[in-house]
Amino acid sequence: MRKGNKTIVVTLLVIAACLIAAGGFFIGKTAGEKPLLESRERLYALNRASIEKMSIEESPVYVIGHRSPDSDTVCSAIAYARLLNLLGYPAEAAVNGPVNKETAFILSEAGVEAPPVLEDAAGKSIFLVDHSEYAQSTEGLEDAHIVGILDHHGVGTVKTGYQLVYEARPIGATATIVWLDYLNYGLDIDKATATLLLGAVLSDTVNLTGTVTETDRQAVAELADLAGITDVGAFYRALHAEALSYEGMSDEEILFSDYKEYETSGVKYGIGLLSVIDEDAARTMAARMKGALPQGFAAKRVDLMYASVGIRENGQKIDYIIPANEESRAYFEAAFPNYDEYDGTSYIFRNGGLGRKSKFVPGMTDFLSAHPHE
Ligand code: MN
Ligand code: MN
């Protein structure tokens, strides 16, 4: 009996002690340090400290996107190299080849020069943006020191055993992640950087109609403000007109102007993306690509190749997929039996299209994983 009472007393004392301790803790919290979100400086400092172990063996860090550079790749590389500089890291933006007409327009609006071409990444410190696929990257990347990846695609083939900054989000543009990082690290975005990032987000999200999140929308609103661009629609139409203009380019240059390679289960395939204004233009361009594809296929070391001619006007999403040869055609038809029409040249997708990042590559990955090459 006495032993039982003693146990109860001890239990009550323990409970009382816990309540006093907990009360003290909460009182201490409210009276003492501010909650995290009220202290933005603390959040910036924590974010900055989280990347301080970024191991830079060879200086500088080259910030570089994918081959056939698009506006998101080029503008994100420039803006992220600036971010690293502001944080005290030696970094330079680079590209894999000449910039396209749309990117050249955005760069000139921003008053920024195109970054230099990096021919060979071997032995260099590399921060990848907008991809993580060897087949899409600079020569020598297998022998480079990868210090970071910033991306909005699926996980590619790039590997490293070292610790790295690795940030990917299911979002409209890498440039939006760059914008978010400026906020997270507490850095100012100057007018030129805002113009670059705005152009990149508008380009990759097709003026906020493609793959897009509320974060991309907020980025566009804030970046337009910082860039001093009041008519975002006009800015988009101007850069989009450059994207649709293939004037002075050969059919093969057009095929490879936004071309990417992928590999699944040992099968390598390439997809060249093109944009046109309507279905008449799509049929004309598809015929040109059908003519250019055999030579283009012969020039690359891939097993399958496609051109994808897309219409993204007034909310429409239509894609014409042109296979390079019979094997590419047979694989495509097996992987994507739900096309709306095959006109002898193109597989046509009229209801929502077959976006390269959102549908084409995921579908090929699923199909090739389930049907390995013999
Ligand atoms: Mn890209
Ligand atoms: Mn992108």
Nearest listed ligand to the Cα of residue 151: 2
| Domain carrying residue 135 | 61-242
Determine the residue type at 196.
Answer: L
Residue 293 lies in a domain: yes
Give the distance (Å) from ligand 1 centre to CA of residue 326.
28
Give the distance (Å) from ligand 1 centre to CA of residue 325.
26
Q: Are residues 221 and 296 in the same domain?
A: no
SS3 assignment, position 199? helix
Give the distance (Å) from ligand 2 centre to CA of residue 73.
6
Q: Are residues 205 and 161 in the same domain?
A: yes
Give the distance (Å) from ligand 1 centre to CA of residue 199.
13
Give the distance (Å) from ligand 2 centre to CA of residue 66.
9
Residue 172 lies in a domain: yes
Question: What kind and span of H or E run contains 167?
Answer: strand 165-168
State the greatest distance between any 2 C-alpha atoms of the chain, in Å, as a whole number.
Answer: 100
Where helices occur in 300-325 by DSSP H, the ranges are none
Residue 366 lies in a domain: yes
Where helices occur in 322-374 by DSSP H, the ranges are 326-335, 361-370
Residue 153, domain CATH: 3.90.1640.10
The token duo for 255 is 């095929």
Last residue of a domain, one of 242, 270, 301: 242
pLDDT, tens digit only, all 374 positions of the chain: 455 555 555 554 455 554 445 544 444 444 455 665 568 999 999 999 999 999 888 999 999 999 999 999 999 999 999 999 999 999 999 999 999 999 999 999 999 999 999 999 999 999 999 999 999 999 999 999 999 999 999 999 999 999 999 999 999 999 999 999 999 999 999 999 999 999 999 999 999 998 899 999 999 999 999 999 999 999 999 999 999 889 889 999 999 999 999 999 999 999 999 999 999 999 999 999 999 999 999 999 999 999 999 999 888 999 999 999 999 999 999 999 999 999 999 999 999 999 999 999 999 999 999 987 65
Nearest listed ligand to the Cα of residue 176: 2
SS3 assignment, position 7? helix
> Distance between CA atoms of 344 and 126, rounded to whole angstroms?
44
Residue 26 lies in a domain: no
pTM: 0.80
Residue 322, domain CATH: 3.10.310.20
Give the distance (Å) from ligand 2 centre to CA of residue 374.
33
Give the distance (Å) from ligand 1 centre to CA of residue 35.
38
